[in-house]
Amino acid sequence: MLMQQHHHHKHHSKHHAWGRFRRRLKYFYYHFIRDPSPERVLRGISVGVFFGCTPFLGIHMLFAFVTAAVINGNKILAVISTWIMNPLTLVPLFILDYRVGRFLFYPSLSLTVEFSEKNLTSIRSIIGLGWDVFGACSLGGVIVGLILALIFYVMMRPLYHYFRRLHLLERFKKHGR
């Protein structure tokens, strides 16, 4: 009986997480198509993607929001875009950050790190793996973040214009203006 209740709780939790994800995606879409400035949209998304690739768990969104405000990017999209680092991508992104950082900045570091959701819960937990690991992840995260931010900037431009045209066409059909 306890096993069944626990299983049901897991299923409910997954369903709840999916609902939250769908709401965030919908929120992202509305901010994406309603902002009339493609540059503001693209800057916001790129800033969020950049900070989402760094190991600064817990303060990604704050950094993205403040940076977007400073560079006149869409602040909401910047915060939402930090979710490139999410429960599904957390471990693979940290492995990539660590490997890039170790290769470029710490080539003599022979430490092999086992990343898991358990040791990637906060900045403190990452620092707990060692300052060399945190340094490699930080520097690697900056490199990975810059590359992905540039890719997203280029990739999202045609998508922005496509969805913006669809939105305006829909609005014109609905309201005649």
> Residue 101 contacts by C-beta under 8 Å, 6 or more apart in sequence?
135, 136, 137, 138, 139, 140, 141, 143
Q: What is the pLDDT of residues 94-109, one digit of tens each?
A: 889 988 998 998 887 7
Percent of the chain with pLDDT over 90: 34
Q: What is the pLDDT of residues 143-166, one digit of tens each?
A: 999 999 999 999 988 888 787 777
Parse the chain into domains and list their residue ranges.
2-175
Q: Determine the Cα–Cα distance for residues 124 and 113; give it in Å rounded to an integer.
A: 16
Q: What is the pLDDT of residue 8?
A: 47
Whether pTM exceeds 0.85: no
